[in-house]
Structure 1
Amino acid sequence: MIKDGEVRSKCSYCNGDVCGSSKSGTTIMKNHLLRCKEYPPNINKSQTFLKFLKSEQTHASVDDDLVAEKRSKLEVWKFKQDETRKALAKMIIMDELPFRFVEREGFQYFMSVAQPNFIFPTCWTMARDCYQAYLEEKKNIKSFFSKCSSRISLTTNTWTSCQNLNYMCLTAHFIDHDWNLHKKIMNFCQISGHSGR
């Protein structure tokens, strides 16, 4: 571009006016990129990777026939310690694993190969993370029920554990706005005894 009778260059990231034409070499643009706030490496200096999102099955019309095809999408990914710990807490809860699972040699070996940057939490930290996940889920459920207009069905179930302890569980069943059936445990407590009658 020409400005005030002088040939100028324009930055592709910030659209800023950079003095000097393309004929004068790349040093001027290189120096500008070191200061440019829109240049991607200046925005995020931590290393990122590309990952495929889960493929979504779509249907395309080929010669008036619907054909199923899978499309994957690329996105930028970088390691985040906090999110990885939240995912680990979710795994402990979903798979009913002991908190000491994070201190087992096999798991630590696997993670050191899969993600060497992961800092291993202690079993006490894992217990706190699981409790924090419970508090967040409780908050989300309360928020959902305050806006929910569908009916909620409550059921109870009692059983005796292998340690000969009796438990009772209160479960809510409901359908959301997208017609998906949900089952959420509302309360779980130890009781003195129960009968199958």
Structure 2
Amino acid sequence: MDEDDCSVSKPIEHALYTPSIVSGSANMGPLSHEGRKNRSEAWNHFIQLEPKSDKRAQCKYCDILIRYEKGTTAMRYHVLRCPNNPNKAVNKRQKVGSSSTIDGNTNSPSYGRFDQELCQEELVKMFVEVELPFRFVEHVAFRRYSNALQPRFKILSCYTISRNIVTLWNAKKIYLKDFLSQHCQRVCLTTDAWTSPQNQSYMCLTAHFIDNDSNLHKRILNFRQVISHTREAMAKFVESCLHEWGLSRVLTLTIDNATSNDTGVQHLKKRLLSWNNSVLKGDYTHMRCYAHILNLIMSSGLKEIDNSVLRIRAAVEYIRSSPSRFMKFKECVERQKIEYKGHICLDVETRWNSTYLMLDAAFKHKMAFVELEFYDTKYANELGKEIGLPSYEDWEYVESILPFLSIFYEATLRISGNSYVTSNIYMLEVVGILNGINHLLKSNATSSATYKMAEKMRKQYEKYWGEPNKFNILLLIVVVLDPRYN
């Protein structure tokens, strides 16, 4: 699944990770709705608001409101990150350090108190981050190692680990929902569909927004199974997610450039109009994915690919088909003293960028392929009876098209960046692609096969980007407002 959009410069922590709270006063918190003292240390930093049935608390330092329906995990997480918390930098639990004397000698290390709750939280975070199976916690080696570190630590069962992860997710979801309600004025959405090897359909919805401090954020709101990838399913999925997160002020929805998606986007536009929160009457809500269009352009051109590429692909497929063949190829690499450390990779024919990476790596190992013809007779016999071995002319052809393919590959990387805004470079990349195609068509060194490939790409380019009315006007406004081009 591709998430090829603008992303985060200073993100909030990942929705599944919740740091422990900064220790505060040892006093008990306010009375709970059942009339007993709340034992969580979070209440030392929050004020319980009335009515208590709303289950909302206000931070004493920054006045942000946090819900505690599922517990105080979200409150403890906020205290650790609250910029106005005076104890954030000094009160950290379970510090381990050493003290030095005046003459510079180091005394024995000083250890903080053992905190069972903190250790359990860190254990849950480790399982989420490393994606460990839950039963790993019951392995005798892990228990032996944990006992050596801290005999007093009570290791959780695999069932408790799974429940704690769900609890952690629910707490983070409550916190993020409150954050969105207070910091998200306008949101841009991207959605993508994915089918698993078991033919199960999934959809993902990602939100991009700027908070009150002008920081850009990216959050995956939902990744769930759907009945199908039809336009009706897409529209209902997006609408239900917006209701779930309390979002109604949508600026754009970026989606693949499939004709079937147009109807789904129209349904979403009507819903936004009914909420009276659309921009320019929702006429420019639909944003067609740049990476998907570029993939269509490149795929059409590579259909005209020369037999040279097919022979090189067959050679790569041969050496990657078994470990013994790959070891022989590595020996050829060592004999030729090739310094390039990258590995040969087999491409996926439906992903043009993988074809570029395959050709680029193979070209850098071309002398190893030549050596393999003498070192492995089976390689020469097997490929010689079928499509043939890569020849000198084949490598020359690949060398001629690699610079052209690299233009598209690098453009895809730039527009798919995940640490900067990409809407302001969209039009520049579109124009750069056209210049690359025109340059190849006008080049005197262009072969007939390469010319056909570029001509096919030019026709596809005209289909999607050939006229100004095929662009989203918001992308043109971004270029006009960019002070670098005034």
**TM-score normalised according to structure 2 size:** 0.24
* Aligned counterparts of 2:211 and 2:130: Cα–Cα separation in 1: 25
Return closer, same or farther for 1:51/1:162 CA change in 2, 3 Å cut-off: farther
Tell me the percent identity. 41
- 1:175 paired with 2:216, answer no
In the alignment, what sits opposite 1:26?
none
Q: Any idea what SS the aligned residue of 1:174 has?
A: strand
Amino acid of the residue matched to residue 51 of structure 1? V
* Aligned counterparts of 2:155 and 2:135: Cα–Cα separation in 1: 11
Of the three residues 152, 156, 161, the one matched with 1:121 is 156
Return closer, same or farther for 1:96/1:160 CA change in 2, 3 Å cut-off: farther
1:94-105 equivalences under 5 Å are: 94-105=129-140
In the alignment, what sits opposite 1:151?
186
Of the three residues 92, 96, 111, the one matched with 1:51 is 96
Amino acid of the residue matched to residue 78 of structure 1? R
* Aligned counterparts of 2:216 and 2:151: Cα–Cα separation in 1: 39
The alpha-carbon deviation at position 125 of structure 1 amounts to 0.6
The alpha-carbon deviation at position 166 of structure 1 amounts to 2.2
Contact 2:184 2:210 in 1 (8 A): no
Contact 2:134 2:161 in 1 (8 A): yes
Return closer, same or farther for 1:153/1:87 CA change in 2, 3 Å cut-off: farther
Offset from partner CA, 1:35-73 (integer Å, 9 cap, x none): xxxxxxxxxxxxx96425xxxxxxxxxxxxxxxxxxxxx
Q: Which blocks of at least 5 consecutive residues in structure 1 are unaligned? A: 1-47, 53-74
* Aligned counterparts of 1:133 and 1:123: Cα–Cα separation in 2: 15
Return closer, same or farther for 1:144/1:81 CA change in 2, 3 Å cut-off: same
Contact 1:90 1:133 in 2 (8 A): no
Return closer, same or farther for 1:49/1:84 CA change in 2, 3 Å cut-off: closer
Q: Any idea what SS the aligned residue of 1:185 has?
A: strand
- 1:111 paired with 2:146, answer yes
The alpha-carbon deviation at position 129 of structure 1 amounts to 0.2
Return closer, same or farther for 1:157/1:130 CA change in 2, 3 Å cut-off: same
Offset from partner CA, 1:112-163 (integer Å, 9 cap, x none): 2222221111111111100110111011011101211443222222223344
* Aligned counterparts of 1:88 and 1:49: Cα–Cα separation in 2: 15
Return closer, same or farther for 1:147/1:50 CA change in 2, 3 Å cut-off: closer
**TM-score normalised according to structure 1 size:** 0.54
Contact 1:86 1:133 in 2 (8 A): no
In the alignment, what sits opposite 2:421?
none
The alpha-carbon deviation at position 187 of structure 1 amounts to 1.5
The alpha-carbon deviation at position 172 of structure 1 amounts to 1.8
Amino acid of the residue matched to residue 140 of structure 2? E
Contact 2:137 2:155 in 1 (8 A): yes
Q: Which blocks of at least 5 consecutive residues in structure 2 are unaligned? A: 1-92, 98-109, 231-255, 259-486
The alpha-carbon deviation at position 175 of structure 1 amounts to 3.5
How many residues are matched?
129
Structure 1 or 2: more strand by fraction: 1
* Aligned counterparts of 1:141 and 1:153: Cα–Cα separation in 2: 16
- Report which structure shows greater RCO (CA 8 Å, sep ≥6): 2
* Aligned counterparts of 2:216 and 2:136: Cα–Cα separation in 1: 32
Offset from partner CA, 1:59-115 (integer Å, 9 cap, x none): xxxxxxxxxxxxxxxx97322112221222222222222222212233223322222
Offset from partner CA, 1:143-196 (integer Å, 9 cap, x none): 101211443222222223344422212222233445544332211211234488
In the alignment, what sits opposite 1:135?
170
Contact 2:193 2:202 in 1 (8 A): yes
